[in-house]
Amino acid sequence: MKKHVTIYEIAKKANTSTATVSRVLSNSDYPVSPELRTKIQKVAKELNYIPNMLGRQLKTNNSMTIGVIIPSITNPFYSSIVLGIEEVARKRGYHVLLCNSHRSPKLEESYLNELVQKQVKGLIISSISQNNKLLLQLGKNGLNFVALDQSVDGLTSSQIHFDYKKAGYLATSYLIAKGHRDIAFVSSPLSRPSRQKVYEGFQEALREHEIDMEENWVQISSSEEEHSNENFEFKNGKLLTSKLLEQDKLPTAIFACNDMTAFGVMKELTEKAIKIPDEISVIGFDNIEFGNIVTPSLTTINQPDHEMGRLACNLLLDQLNGEAAESVDMILQPKIIERNSVAVLKN
């Protein structure tokens, strides 16, 4: 690395002071005479000056950087959120430090510490631990953050929620409205509160329509299997479906806890030569892009990932600027995306 050009050298070469150089080069609105201004700019260009933000950041105590901690960028749901976050961060002059927690609480915690040390101005987090002591403490110490998809109890911090229970209810009601009464539920572990809520919505819809839940049709993997690998959701959907198909009586529709799981369900059904939706209907949850790509295209619940990212980031930055209330709870509403994986049942 060559030595860096600093404002000091510019000042010297332009016969002025570092203060004035700083004023013009940092786009301050402080008055500087036009001649001096252009001269400084000219010299800066000649010297190929690149401002060192570390200096400014240390002085102004403003890193213009936010941290994002999510389970894995490999999951399309999160990559879409991150894209939304980055989009508004960029527009508002911030940069994004990305951290994948890989669903590991220890990793999440160490990232959390490192980000704070790096002086991020704020944090958007989809935490893996529901009761994160460290997060709570950092929050009390003044760290601004917004939480995605979870309740951080005992703290006034902004949160972006999605109405999971209503979503589960909505998906199930949709199936019922299409004439289905024999409905299975296939899910990865209910370790996250969000999934638990979806399941509650499922149960409520059945109850409301006086449908008895068939225990054998509720396939939820045990949590030990969760950490296996990236492809977990898909494989899990496939596996649970094969178990489901061992039953004597089969459901007419399957509600999968997310789209990746739904793809696993569809794969298994297709391999067993069961027609979708003619023999068994499938409904997913998330509305990731691939729902359109798969055949038949997947009917699902829209979870506005990109929008969630945008909202979260705007909320966070508003908060930093004191333009928003300290603690905002946004609850996004579910919506059915009708495609081709659910059949209308004739009685």
Partner DNA sequence: CTGTTAGCGCATTCAA
Partner DNA sequence: TTGAATGCGCTAACAG
Q: Which residues bind a second copy (CB under 8 A)?
A: 1-2, 48, 50-55, 57-58, 63, 65, 72-74, 76, 79-80, 82-83, 86-87, 95-100, 114, 116-119, 141-142, 230-231, 234, 263-264, 266-267, 270, 289-290, 292-295
- Residue at token pair 């700083």: 22
- Residue at token pair 């709870």: 329
Q: What is the dihedral of CA 215, 216, 220, 224, to 10 degrees?
A: 110
Of 1, 35, 142, 224, the one binding DNA (CB under 7 A) is 35
> Residue 114, Cα to own-chain centre: how many angstroms?
20
80 binds, among a second copy, DNA, none (CB under 5 to 8 A by kind): a second copy
Distance CA 165, CA 170 (A): 8
86 binds, among DNA, a second copy, none (CB under 5 to 8 A by kind): a second copy
36 binds, among DNA, a second copy, none (CB under 5 to 8 A by kind): DNA
Distance CA 232, CA 219 (A): 15
CB 23 to a second copy: min, Å:
18
CB 138 to DNA: min, Å:
16
48 is a site residue for DNA (CB under 7 A): no
116 binds, among DNA, a second copy, none (CB under 5 to 8 A by kind): a second copy
CB 329 to DNA: min, Å:
32
Of 38, 42, 47, 58, the one binding DNA (CB under 7 A) is 58
Please say which residue, 99 or 198, places its beta carbon nearer to a second copy: 99
CB 97 to DNA: min, Å:
18
142 binds, among DNA, a second copy, none (CB under 5 to 8 A by kind): a second copy
**Which residue blocks in the chain are alpha helix, DSSP H?**
7-13, 18-25, 34-46, 53-60, 76-91, 105-117, 133-140, 164-177, 193-208, 232-244, 259-271, 305-320
DSSP assignment of 60-92 equals HT---EEEEEES-TTSHHHHHHHHHHHHHHHHT
Helix axes 164-177, 193-208, angle to 10 degrees: 40
Distance CA 157, CA 125 (A): 12
| The token pair that represents 239 in the structure block | 């596996």
Q: What is the helix (H) or strand (E) element at residue 95, kind and residue range?
A: strand 95-100
Q: How many residues bind DNA (CB under 7 A)?
A: 32
Contact window for DNA (CB under 7 A) among 51-59, 68-76, 126-134, 146-154: 51-59
Footprint on residues 7-26 left by DNA (CB under 7 A): 7-8, 15-20, 22-23, 25-26
Residues in contact with DNA by the rule CB under 7 A: 3-4, 6-8, 15-20, 22-23, 25-26, 28, 30-33, 35-37, 51-52, 54-56, 58-61
